[in-house]
Amino acid sequence: MITRGDWAKNLHRDTLEKVAYSMDEVHRKTYKKEENVRKMSRIISEGKKKLMNGEVFPKSIIEMADKLIEYLKKMNWRFLVAPKKMKFLTSDKPVYYTKINEYASEVIFPISSEITFLAFWSNSPNTNWKELKNGFWQIDSKTVEIIRDLIVRSSIKEIYFSRKVEWLVKFVNNR
């Protein structure tokens, strides 16, 4: 999610560069002997390359996912299927999360223009949906509109859709 849009990519890259520069500055002030400076400079340089190439960051995502997976497994899951003529959109911040209280929270994540993932703690959010099979639910157009609204409102800068359509510009501008 962090590297999905240009804004987030640049923010992430800039932050990594600042961290690497700070590490370098602290190192130079801490280690006075020339041999230690060369050795630590080499270690920091290798560390910078790993950070900038994205070798460290994915590992931290996986570690966080390992912690969160236990919570997600305990939640109720639905794959929401949009009506025939409706489509989901997504953004540079595609996961919408809300915590109402310790017993009620939701995670919404558009997977494609036809299907959105929903995980929740409380009872089923809508009884008007039609269960299809294997966790897939046919939803109504009002629910698609609500999900679109949540995704647009939580976005940082960019909205993505499967094709160029005029209604999307109005929809986003109204939010």
- The number of folded domains in the chain is 2
Look at residue 70 and tell me if it is in a domain: no
Structural domain contains residue 69: no
> Within a domain: residue 1?
no
Q: Which domain holds residue 105?
A: 75-173
Residue 146 lies in a domain: yes
Residue 66 lies in a domain: no
Cβ pair 110, 82 in contact under 8 A: no
| Per-residue confidence (pLDDT) for residue 145, from 0 to 100 | 92
DSSP letters of 60-105?
HHHHHHHHHHHHHHHSEEEEEEPPTT----EESS--EEEEEETTEE
Taking CA atoms, 103 is separated from 70, 75, 76, 98, in Å, by 16, 10, 12, 12
Within the chain, which residues score under 50 in pLDDT?
A: none
What is the tens place of the pLDDT at every residue in 112-149? 999 999 988 766 666 678 989 888 999 999 999 999 99
Tokens standing for 59?
């590992």
Do 85 and 153 lie in one domain? The reply is yes
Residues 92 and 36 in one domain: no
Please tell me whether residues 45 and 82 are part of one structural domain: no
Task: Rounding to the nearest 10 degrees, give the CA dihedral for residues 72, 75, 81, 87.
Answer: -60
Question: pTM for the complete prediction?
Answer: 0.62
Whether 124 and 166 share a structural domain: yes
Same domain, 89 and 152: yes
